[in-house]
Structure 1
Amino acid sequence: MSCFAAVLMSTACGSGAQPTITADQANLQVEDYSLKAREALPAEARYTLFSSEQRGDCSDPSDHGAKNRVLASRDYRIEGLAKDNFPRYFDALRAWWQNHNFRVLDNNPPNEYLWVENNADGFRMALQANSAGGLFLTSTSPCVWSNGTPIPET
């Protein structure tokens, strides 16, 4: 798992022992958001899966949440886009996200990092650029129970 995904994971996890969607549903939604967000970027963009978590650990004690939860995440490297146009891509994705019920959580530094959360379901996404010209799209679920219901504590 990338450090970037680990940051998203540690902050995307909610607390409590309430029922959730299943891990399979979380994986489907993560992939769906990843695919749909691409609508905002030029057609010539190429996406390579950089890292993936099907049932990543989400028992981070720092979130004060229940143990034994999991999360789904995908990190895609975006290639084929000119570094000089990165600000335009950030603007396009910001607009797309805001038009699809996401709110901005962090945009610092501008045109290098943009992190959003869906208002309805807590899924988070981010666009990140680096000085080497890399561009990455990440989608992460909130913490969920594998089968949708809390695991009884023994």
Structure 2
Amino acid sequence: MSEPPLTQAQALARVDRLVHDTAAALTPKPRLELVASSVPFSACLDGGKSESQIVINRAYWLRDLPKSENMSIARQVRAFWERQGHVITSTGGWQVGHPSIGGESRPDGFVLALTWSAGDDLYLAATSPCVWPDDTIGTASGART
């Protein structure tokens, strides 16, 4: 029996949990500041999915961290994701002190990112797979909530 489709609300909860759990594992502890532009959902661009589906994304600046800790933070993020069983899909910028890490959560395939930005700031982000907007569950997807 297949799992029911993930709802928009469930995807949002999972995105937030992925970011917050990662931040909670870091030393020193960052203050998370929501990147406002990450709040609106986006169209699903997966060619095999319905154009009516969306992806949920959230990005958070890691605040109150010394810039000198960026490399340590990146190493901690990578280690935490690996301990959680997530797959590291890309890394970059390590040799110049501008670390970025891409990953995919297991078992559910959410995209994970730690990204360096100009100003020597880091942010954590997570993006859901394509999901049906909450107002279409049970109609467009053929599923019931």
**TM bracket, shorter-chain basis:** 0.7 to 0.9
How far apart in 2 are the matches of 1:143 and 1:68?
A: 10
CA distance in 2, matches of 1:144, 1:29: 12
Question: 2:140 aligns to what?
Answer: 151
In 2: Cα distance, 1:33 partner to 1:108 partner: 21
1:131 & 1:72 partners in 2: Cα distance? 25
SS in 2 for 1:106: strand
Alpha-carbon offset, residue 19 of structure 1: 5.5
The alignment status of 1:91 with 2:78, answered yes or no, reads: no
RMSD: 2.2
Aligned to 2:108: 121
* Cα offset, 1:130, TM superposition: 2.3
Percent identity, aligned pairs only, is 24
Highest Rg: 1 or 2? 2
Report the CA distance shift for 1:98/1:141 in structure 2 as closer, same or farther (over 3 A): same
Please tell me whether residue 45 in structure 1 is matched to residue 30 in structure 2. Answer: yes
Is the 8 Å Cα contact of residues 19 and 145 (structure 1) preserved in structure 2? Answer: no
Q: Which runs of 5+ in 2 are unaligned?
A: none
Which of 52, 56, 74 is the matching residue for 2:42?
A: 56
CA distance in 2, matches of 1:139, 1:34: 7
Shift, 1:112, TM fit: 1.9
Aligned to 1:20: 5
> Which secondary structure does the structure 1 equivalent of 2:92 belong to?
coil
Q: How far apart, CA to CA, are the structure 2 residues paired with 1:94 and 1:49?
A: 21
Q: Aligned-pair distance for 1:46?
A: 1.3
TM-score (norm 2): 0.80
Q: Per chain length, whose mean CA-contact separation is higher, i.e. which structure has more relative contact order (CA < 8 Å, sep 6+)?
A: 1
Q: Tell me how far 1:56 sits from its aligned partner.
A: 2.5
CA distance in structure 1 between the aligned counterparts of 2:47 and 2:89, rounded to whole angstroms: 17
CA contact (8 A) 1:48 1:76 kept: yes
SS in 2 for 1:31: helix
Give the TM-score normalised by structure 1: 0.76
Secondary structure at 1:67's aligned position in 2? coil
